[in-house]
A and B are shown apart, each in its own frame.
Chain A
Amino acid sequence: MCGIVGLLVKTPALKERLGELMVPMLIGMTERGPDSAGLAVFADPLSEGERKLSLYSGLTEDGADFNWHGLTHGLKAHLDVDAKIDIKHNHAVLAFRAAPEMVKRWLREHHPLLHILSTGRTIDLYKDIGTPAQVADRYDFASIKGSHLVGHTRMATESAVTPDRAHPFTAGEDFCLVHNGSLSNPNGIRRMLQPHGIHFDTDNDTEAACRFLEWRLREGDDLETALQAGFEELDGFFTFLMGTPDKLALIRDPFACKPAVVAENDDYVAIASEFRSLAHLPDIKNAKVFEPAPEEMYVWNA
């Protein structure tokens, strides 16, 4: 079991309140996922040549005491990259104007235990073990601003409870996915993708789905075509919620084994595994509430 939440706001004023509205959604899914939690938020993009990485130091020897400023000094000294860093304990967002692959290669070489959570121009990603309330508090989720986000609360079934196996998973740039369910053919998907040079960070089944869909997008599929390929190739139980810089997308397996409910009004689209995570939202009593059908694609534009 796991919990999924998503929120996309349509009115500019609500962008300021994105995190505040989402935290009760995430905490509402604690019973479905008490072991880890995570969140990816999409905000105004950096300019064309800039990139940002979300980084997690909890797996390094120094943990939350990681020397983040030493890292930016190293980047300057070795690569002549001026990076800005925004630190929250064992997490930092590193922004720079340089080729992201070069920076990531340097990070893997000099800080192999530092976990790269996400890459892109719009996405910030946080995930860690702990209850949703603890994780939300650790990273001050309530203060998060942006146009849309996806969140997850995890009750692990398919791989160990570790920060890197928490959701959301990312692949490529500005793409993330959260999953409630379990896949039966993740190893087949991995064996199919690895010859294409696709590297996996963990043994988690959701990571296979995430990298498969991002690979389809990178190969030129539009989102709908990629999701259709997902229906054909990914076997098992799933409700997937995905985020891109301008979209949220949701699909459910043909048996609708894992729940999802959507509430929509003029101000927002909110998605959760269960209605109890939506009950607090403003004017929810007048929102259109519905259950997304199995094997249908739901895509909302930010």
Chain B
Amino acid sequence: MERLSFDLASSSLSDMNRFLHTELSADDTRHVTVLNPDGAHNIAVGLNQPVTVDVQGHAGYYAGGMNKHARVVIHGSAGTGVAENMMSGTVHVKGFASNGAGATAHGGLLVIDGDAGLRCGISLKGGDIVVGGSVGSFSGFMAQAGRMVICGNAGDALGDSLYEAVIYLRGEAKSLGADAQFEDMTDADYSALAELLSKAGLDHDPKSFKRIASARSLYHWNADANQEY
């Protein structure tokens, strides 16, 4: 397995992303290290190859965005929109993540060891998100498909206007959003959760989690609701 490293203190981010997009497939490099990321935006976005990218430091906005097949590990914190619109593969943030982590992800797994900011998993479309810490307000807003595991607490309006995504929460939510409700855990939930926790390297007992899903009362327009939900 060939290893390669890019030092963003001395080489350009565009060159690195260009290499990852266009030259990687003809190459046998399967491990790329990014040094001195220093909060740069768009690190390792749009990958489409089974490659591991280790980012040694703090990443800026949209790191690992649109990821397909690759494994991106950020050994630091991630800015707004980490793994945004991921299709497959894995993005692992060892520190905390800012707002909009995993927004609109269609597939793949986003693991955040620390806390995530507001709007984590907003409009999730099939991806999985495991947060080792807590998430901010409006997380899981309008999430359509996929699963979110929150090992800590959640802010206000968790799962507001949920569609068919499911949220597993270990701590407490400051409040649930409109149409989100606690539901009983089934055997299928326990096994799905155990698998997600194992993939994220966490050993919490699945029995310590609660399931939050949509009550589906917003699925159809109700003219009598007087906009009060």
Binding site for B on A (CB under 8 A): 254-256, 259, 261, 274-280, 285, 289-291, 293-294
Contact = CB atoms under 8 A, between A and B. Distances in A.
B98 A259 contact: yes
A55 to B, nearest CB: 36
Interface of B is mostly: loop
Interface string B102-119: 000000000000000110
A290 B95 CA distance: 10
A255 B98 CA distance: 13
Contacts of B161: none
A293 B99 CA distance: 11
A278 B99 contact: no
Contacts of B38: 275-276, 279-280
Contacts of A274: 39, 60-61, 79
Given A256-B136, A294-B137, A279 B80 contact: no
Interface string B58-92: 10110000000000000011011000000000000
A200 B135 CA distance: 40
B98 A279 contact: no
B96 A278 contact: no
Given A254-B137, A289-B95, A294-B136, 15 more contacts: A261-B77, A274-B60, A274-B61, A274-B79, A275-B38, A275-B58, A275-B77, A275-B79, A276-B40, A276-B41, A277-B39, A280-B38, A285-B57, A289-B76, A291-B117
A289 B137 contact: no
What interface size band does chain B fall in? 20 to 34
A292 to B, nearest CB: 10
6 contacts: A259-B98, A259-B99, A274-B39, A275-B77, A277-B39, A289-B95
B96 A255 contact: no
Give 7 closest A-B pairs by Cβ, nearest first.
Answer: A275-B39, A276-B39, A279-B38, A275-B58, A256-B118, A279-B39, A274-B39
Contacts of B118: 255-256, 294
Interface string B22-42: 000000000000001011110
A294 B118 CA distance: 9
Nearest to A274: B39
Nearest to A255: B118
Nearest to B156: A254
Contacts of A256: 99, 117-118, 136
A275 B38 CA distance: 7
Most A CB atoms within 10 A — which of B38, B80, B117, B138? Answer: B38
Contacts of B36: 279
Contacts of A276: 38-41, 60
Nearest to A275: B39
Contacts of B41: 276
Nearest to A276: B39
A291 B39 contact: no
Nearest to A272: B39
Given A275-B77, A278-B39, A291 B96 contact: yes
A275 B137 contact: no
Interface in B152-204: none
Contacts of B57: 279, 285
Contacts of B76: 289
Contact of A290 (B40, B79, B96, B138): B96
B157 to A, nearest CB: 11
Contacts of A290: 96
Contacts of A293: 136
A275 B99 CA distance: 14
A293 B136 CA distance: 9
A280 B40 CA distance: 13
Nearest to A256: B118
B173 to A, nearest CB: 16
Contacts of A254: 137
Nearest to A293: B136
